[in-house]
Amino acid sequence: MATERKFVTENIKRILLKEYMMKQLDRAGFGGLDIQRTPMGTRVTLITERPGLVIGRRGAAIKALTKAIEQDFKFNNPQIEVQQETNPNLNAQIMAEKLATALERGWHFRRAGHSIVRRIMDSGAKGCQVILSGKLTGQRHRTEKFREGHIKYCGHPKLMFMKEGFTAAKLKPGIIGVKVWIMDPNARLPDEVLVTAEPTAKAESLQAGSPGELSTKEELSIAAAAESATAAQAARTAELPEGAGQEKTEEMPAGEEGIGSEQEKPEDKPSEQSKEGETSGDKPKEEE
């Protein structure tokens, strides 16, 4: 019985300390706390949206909190550490506090609930649920729920992936309870199955030579042949003017020979005439 009473009293002290921190750190955006027993004393880790307000000027506020924890809650040598929340929209306690302040400022409960759900889902959460219970519109108590995405209500997924935040909004008709549940964006549910290819099939395809590899080899050979053809064509085009000039120079002597032969042709004509004269001169002799 002594051990059971010890566990009960320790848990009661934790709950009372959490409620005290929620009241004291309302402006700083209280997001939760963690209490650990160490050989040096008790380590209290506070998660807040604005850690500067928790520490105070020259550490005055955090010193006052340390003194109050040691005297009122009887913790042995408490050491407070302050951590800043990187993404406040995924912290259930911070979002519950913001929803409560919106209701206290006069927002309609449906408008406030839908806006909080939209902010949470836009930040990347897999699911969220907002529960408002109390005198929302009239003198009769009622409960309204706003949910979106995946929500787990029991079992191991709820304990591991669901974050809960609770606070109360104080209005003129009465107190309205505000509860916010948020599912972790990195949560992997049991029904999620990832299908991947077998590694043996990939190894066999690599050993046998996959068609993708053959196509790449063929493409490389075709590209090399095209490059060699373009290089040869470029060399030919570069040599064309020089070859054309040489052909012209070689054709010039042939042309000159033709011109000389044409000039020699009139010289050959008199020889033909002399032959005709000789033949004509021989004819009268025969007549004689």
Run means of pLDDT, 10 residues per run, the chain, 288 residues: 80 88 86 87 89 88 88 86 90 93 93 94 93 91 93 89 92 93 89 76 55 56 79 74 48 45 47 47 44
What pLDDT, in 10s, does the model give residues 126-179?
999 999 999 998 889 999 999 999 899 988 888 999 999 999 999 999 999 999
- CB hemisphere CA count around 65 (13 angstroms): 24
Segments making up each domain of the chain, as ranges: 2-85, 90-183, 196-265
What is the per-residue pLDDT across 220-244, written as a single tens digit (0 to 9) for each?
777 778 888 888 887 777 765 554 5
Phi, psi of 197 (to 5 degrees): -75, 150
Task: Note whether 2-85 and 90-183 share their fold.
Answer: no
pTM exceeds 0.85 = no
Give residue for tokens 């075709």. 222
DSSP summary character for residue 196:
-
The CATH architecture annotation of domain 2-85 reads 2-Layer Sandwich (3.30)
pLDDT of the residue at 162: 92
> Could you say which of 3.40.605.10, 1.10.472.50, 3.30.1140.32, 3.90.1280.20 is the CATH number of the domain covering 90-183?
3.30.1140.32
